[in-house]
Structure 1
Amino acid sequence: MTSYYAPKGGHPGQEQLLTDRAMFTEAYAVIPKGTMRDITTSFLPFWEGTRLWVIARPMTGFAETFSHYIMEVATDGGSDRAETDPTAEGVLFVVEGKVSLTVDGQTHEMTAGGYAYLPPQSGWTLRNRGSDAARFHWIRKAYQAVDGLDQPDVIVSSDADVAPTPMPGTDGKWATTRFVDPSDLRHDMHVTVVTFEPGAVIPFLETHVMEHGLYVLEGKAAYRLNQDWVEVEAGDYMWLRAFCPQACYAGGPGKFRYLLYKDVNRHMPLTLGR
């Protein structure tokens, strides 16, 4: 059975050492699960019974296209005015509990593994009607409209309902769960789930224009980021700027899975700041 890591907050005891795996470099950041404490939470307008961890935000000279939140919504909490930016599209991915998402006049009951793509100005609302706190990822991006292309449609799906696509030549040891058709150019971002079987690798240093946010949902691995090998496990987050070299060795003993963001399908702006 698939399980997804979800932070709970709290604080370490006074007897704990200060050393940890957190690091921020010019090319990448590693934000370990141990940094997601009560003191590092934030709050949002028009969200009741809700706190969040902001684990990525646009930063000049680093990763500039997206923000990534981990939301924690108490029973009866949520929002009837969830997104206040009319240019923002979003993806939700539930890791714990149950939420009721209402969009386009329909209410969808989403549980762990649930996925939703929400285009700009979709006016979605969300409530936790369950008996326990719900936790989900919320990835936001300013949608880049293109003349002649329609805006994408709402998509509500789940990890369990989408068959992973194996990477060529890997015998299924490295696969990607794609909730959006890669050939649909209306979309300017993809959020997928990447799965490595024990012993699987990314066998070369990927170096490409896409910015990445990688949240480890399950398992552990050694990940190459720029010139460094780092050990990551469920609950850790890796944040990569464009062209940061990356590779992976998933040593096991179980599967290594992460939620992946990348920006896609658009021309590069030729004027800085656009």
Structure 2
Amino acid sequence: MGYLNNVIGYRDDLLASRSIVRHGNYALLTPDGLVKNIIPGFERCDVTILSTPKLGATFVDYLVTLHQDGGNTTGFGGEGIETFLYVIEGSISVEAGGERFALTQGGYLYCPPDMLMTFKNQQAADSQLFLYKRRYIPAAGHAPYRVCGHASQLEQVHYEGMNDVILLDFLPKELGFDMNMHILSFAPGASHGYIETHVQEHGAYILSGQGVYNLDNNWVSVKKGDYIFMGAYSLQAGYGVGRGEAFSYIYSKDCNRDVEI
């Protein structure tokens, strides 16, 4: 199965997986098949690389489990690479731009492309992070800046007027930012208003609940702990299903830039 659920070694059944990979189009990565990666700078961490350019994305997503005293003290990002960190669970300290922040579950930090972030677990138990990086695309006369906060402090927007679909926007809607990060939450039975088709890419980590997602007109069952990549023009939409718990996921979207030719 995988290291995240500690089901490894000898099997008494056939090997099987819910994961789906369609390079450049879409992918569903389930926690059962994820593996650890050794990356310089990450100490006492289990790091899984999710979306990358090898899959067809213009960004890289990571799932990082920080063990006791684990973290990255050499720096993540910088040199033209913008970064975003979201605390899935636990408690960490983060430093960026000469300031230190204490972040707990729901806390987040965006760093512009000229700024490194470092982070460390602040509890004996494991903490878990969703990390993102992308090469920043400048816009003349505009620049991004560091943004830090907590999801509970963000405005809850009724997505396209639907009161059972809630959208959170993490970054300001300003031309200095060439991407944004969001959380979209569906009450059981709620859905998108239509199947979307657009040039923007998404990398989405499911934080809670269960859903049924349309990926290039294939309806796929998904749940907490799954990761979805949606490439440019991949058809996409979702339903919340299950009992009581919202179907909720954090996802990135490139924005505020014209298409280069």
Counterpart secondary structure, 1:205: coil
Q: Which residue of 2 is the match for residue 11 of structure 1?
A: 7
Q: Alpha-carbon deviation of 1:104?
A: 2.2
Unaligned 5+ residue runs, structure 1? 1-6
1:205 to 169, 179, 195: 195
1:20 aligns with 2:17: yes
Q: Which residue of 1 is the match for residue 258 of structure 2?
A: 267
Q: Alpha-carbon deviation of 1:64?
A: 3.2
Q: Which residue of 1 is the match for residue 41 of structure 2?
A: 46
- Map 1:76-87 to 2 at 5 A: 76-83=69-76, 85-87=78-80
Which whole-Å CA distance do the structure 2 matches of 1:107 and 1:131 have between them? 20
Counterpart secondary structure, 2:116: coil
1:178 aligns with 2:143: no
Q: Alpha-carbon deviation of 1:82?
A: 2.0
Which whole-Å CA distance do the structure 2 matches of 1:85 and 1:148 have between them? 20
Counterpart secondary structure, 2:32: helix
Q: 1:191 to 1:213 in 2, by over 3 A?
A: same
Q: Alpha-carbon deviation of 1:154?
A: 0.8
Identity among equivalent positions (%) equals 28
Displaced runs of 4 or more, over 4 A? none
Which whole-Å CA distance do the structure 2 matches of 1:25 and 1:105 have between them? 41
Q: Deviations over 1:23-71 (max 9, x none)?
A: 11252111112112xxx11022122212201011113xx6331000011
- Give the conservation status (yes or no) of the 8 Å contact 2:165–2:184: yes
- Give the conservation status (yes or no) of the 8 Å contact 1:44–1:51: no
Q: 1:154 to 1:168 in 2, by over 3 A?
A: same
Which whole-Å CA distance do the structure 2 matches of 1:215 and 1:64 have between them? 15
Q: Which amino acid aligns with 1:8?
A: L
Matched positions, count: 256
Q: Which amino acid aligns with 1:23?
A: I
- Map 1:28-67 to 2 at 5 A: 28-36=26-34, 40-59=35-54, 63-67=56-60
1:190 aligns with 2:183: no
2:62 to 61, 64, 69: 69
Q: Deviations over 1:214-268 (max 9, x none)?
A: 1110000111111210000000111111000011111231200001111111121
Q: Which residue of 2 is the match for residue 137 of structure 1?
A: 130
CA RMSD of aligned residues (A): 1.6
Q: 1:9 to 1:42 in 2, by over 3 A?
A: farther
Unaligned 5+ residue runs, structure 2? none
- Give the conservation status (yes or no) of the 8 Å contact 1:47–1:82: no
- Map 1:214-253 to 2 at 5 A: 214-253=204-243
Q: 1:208 to 1:84 in 2, by over 3 A?
A: closer
Which whole-Å CA distance do the structure 2 matches of 1:256 and 1:84 have between them? 31
Which whole-Å CA distance do the structure 2 matches of 1:102 and 1:258 have between them? 26
Which whole-Å CA distance do the structure 2 matches of 1:216 and 1:84 have between them? 24
Which whole-Å CA distance do the structure 1 matches of 2:169 and 2:221 have between them? 26
Q: Alpha-carbon deviation of 1:84?
A: 5.5
Pick the structure with more strand per residue.
Answer: 2
Normalised to the residue count of structure 2, the TM-score between the two structures is 0.93
